Amino acid sequence: MAFQSPKGTYDILPGSPFLAVRDGLLAPSVRAGYAYVEAPVFEDTELFSRGVGASTDVVTKEMFTFPERGLTLRPEGTAGVVRAVVEHGLQRGQLPVKLRYAGPMFRAERPQAGRFRQFQQVGIEALGVTDPALDAEVVALAADAFTGLGLTGVRLLLTSLGDPACRPAYREELGAFLAGLDLDDATRARAALNPLRVLDDKRPEVQALLVDAPLMVDRLCPQCTAHHEGVLEGLAALGVAFEPAPRLVRGLDYYMRTTFEFVHDGLGAQSAVGGGGRYDGLSEAIGGPPLPGIGWALGIERTVLALEAEGVSVAPEAGPAVFVVPLGAAAKAWAVAFVGALRTAGVATDLAYGDRGLKGAMKAADRSGARWAVVVGDRDLEADVAQLKDLTSGEQTAVPLSELLEQLL
């Protein structure tokens, strides 16, 4: 074969659960009033370096950038949505602004199980208010997204990352603590860049050194504490279970206060199926007005992996309800017109194309999943009837052509 899809990309082919999973993940948010938006797939590079954080891995080594144009394929969805909100002044209307989106994201990473260079996410954002009850709603909608698809093994990790009032002091305290540890050079460099990120190091020997590390949740300012407690109350009211995750750190710099991640243990090394949090400073970081916000993004590919791991099947796309099998030239001409009429009337219909034998055509009818087969030969047309066969029971009756359409509605 001459070409193949580029590294880290894949084709969605017939039979894929992609559409059902994408729409299923967003269904609870639709019911909660989150309106659909779609921002461009590429934006000014600076939107991401300023929004996501210039020191993050996502920005420093994973972006697909067109330097000569100053544009970058979006590595995540939030920055673009917030940019669109600010650009169009949506925050001047009724608050909160509740939005949902879906689409491809791009990161130039080495592919791996559940990790692609072009991957698909769905997401929601709620902007304009800091009410902790809204945080709880947002988190609950992600939890519902997974359970609504039939998943039972998704765990919610949740914490508070503090805010500009309390995080700088904590960050300094943690930095001082880390400076007293015997760490390798790479980890030390990370500590200098963002000490918080050292906390979720996977290596057991590093975790052992961190048992006595100070935790953000113990250093929250009164406002952050009150907000966090409000979120926990809201989650309790909504019946959403979670695991406190005081060491949870996310790779995007804009998160503050409520921060969470959804993980699944059946995916291989990449266990996160979704994540999000509050990003009250993001709008200002990209030159907008003060505009608090909270949101999440869920990975479609990883959700599919989770469904496979749990053995949960997703309903495939519906096929035709009626399959028409013509025998002979006159019948073929009649069938083409009849299929058109059925479709116009709103009935999903397909036709045996290609002049194959009756046996092959019936096989095609069976595979289409249609409930009804309409078999018409020239001798039926002479009698003004068609054979209507119930493919479930196998029963077949001759129906006058004048009554056929009505019977199939």
Partner RNA sequence: GUGGGUGUAGCUCAGCUGGUAGAGCACCGGGUUGUGAUCCCGGUUGUCGCGGGUUCGAGCCCCGUCACUCACCCCA
Q: Is 111 in the site for RNA (CB under 7 A)?
A: yes
Question: Could you tell me where the beta strands, DSSP code E, fall in 284-381?
Answer: 293-299, 322-327, 349-351, 372-377
User: Residues 29, 49, 56, 160: which binds RNA (CB under 7 A)?
Assistant: 56
Query: Contacts with RNA in 122-181 (CB under 7 A)?
Result: none
In angstroms, what is the minimal distance from the CB of 222 to RNA? 29
In angstroms, what is the minimal distance from the CB of 175 to RNA? 16
Q: Is 92 in the site for RNA (CB under 7 A)?
A: no
CA-to-CA dists, residue 43 to 22, 90, 105, 366, 394, angstroms: 23, 19, 12, 48, 57
Query: Contacts with RNA in 178-237 (CB under 7 A)?
Result: 190, 197, 200-203
Nearest to 58 by CA among 79, 40, 34: 79
In angstroms, what is the minimal distance from the CB of 318 to RNA? 16
Using an 8 Å Cβ cutoff, are 123 and 100 in contact?
A: yes
Distance (Å, whole) CA 319 – CA 1: 31
- Checking DSSP bridges between strand 385-390 and strand 396-400, what pairing results, if any? antiparallel
Q: Is 257 in the site for RNA (CB under 7 A)?
A: no
Q: Is 376 in the site for RNA (CB under 7 A)?
A: yes
Q: Is 357 in the site for RNA (CB under 7 A)?
A: yes
Please choose, out of 112-120, 152-160, 231-239, 283-291, the segment that lies near RNA by the rule CB under 7 A: 112-120
Using an 8 Å Cβ cutoff, are 154 and 305 in contact?
A: no
In angstroms, what is the minimal distance from the CB of 287 to RNA? 22
Residue number, 230 or 320, with CB nearest to RNA? 320
Q: Is 327 in the site for RNA (CB under 7 A)?
A: yes
How many residues interact with RNA (rule CB under 7 A)?
A: 72
Burial class of residue 70 in the structure, from the number of CB atoms within 10 Å of its CB (0-12 exposed, 13-18 middle, 19+ buried): exposed
User: Residues 100, 115, 227, 228: which binds RNA (CB under 7 A)?
Assistant: 115
Q: What share of the chain is helix, strand, coil (3-state, %, to 5)?
A: 40, 20, 35
User: Residues 252, 324, 342, 351: which binds RNA (CB under 7 A)?
Assistant: 252
Residue number, 190 or 257, with CB nearest to RNA? 190
Question: Could you tell me where the beta strands, DSSP code E, fall in 30-137?
Answer: 35-36, 42-44, 65-66, 71-73, 97-106, 118-127
Residue number, 38 or 265, with CB nearest to RNA? 265
Residue number, 98 or 389, with CB nearest to RNA? 389
Q: Is 365 in the site for RNA (CB under 7 A)?
A: yes
Residue 332's CB: how many other CB atoms inside 10 A? 17
In angstroms, what is the minimal distance from the CB of 146 to RNA? 11
Residue number, 200 or 310, with CB nearest to RNA? 200
Give the pair of three-digit tokens for residue 408. Answer: 């199939």
Q: Quick one: residue 113, left, alpha or beta (phi over 0 = left, psi -120 to 50 = alpha)? A: beta
Please choose, out of 85-93, 154-162, 249-257, 287-295, the segment that lies near RNA by the rule CB under 7 A: 249-257
Residue number, 90 or 300, with CB nearest to RNA? 300
388: Cα within 13 Å, side-chain hemisphere:
16
Query: Contacts with RNA in 295-324 (CB under 7 A)?
Result: 297-299, 301-302
Letter string b/e over residues 78-99, b meaning 16 or more CB atoms within 10 A of that residue's CB: bbbbbbbbbeeebbeeebbbbb
Give the pair of three-digit tokens for residue 222. Answer: 């009164």
Query: Contacts with RNA in 258-297 (CB under 7 A)?
Result: 261-262, 268-275, 297
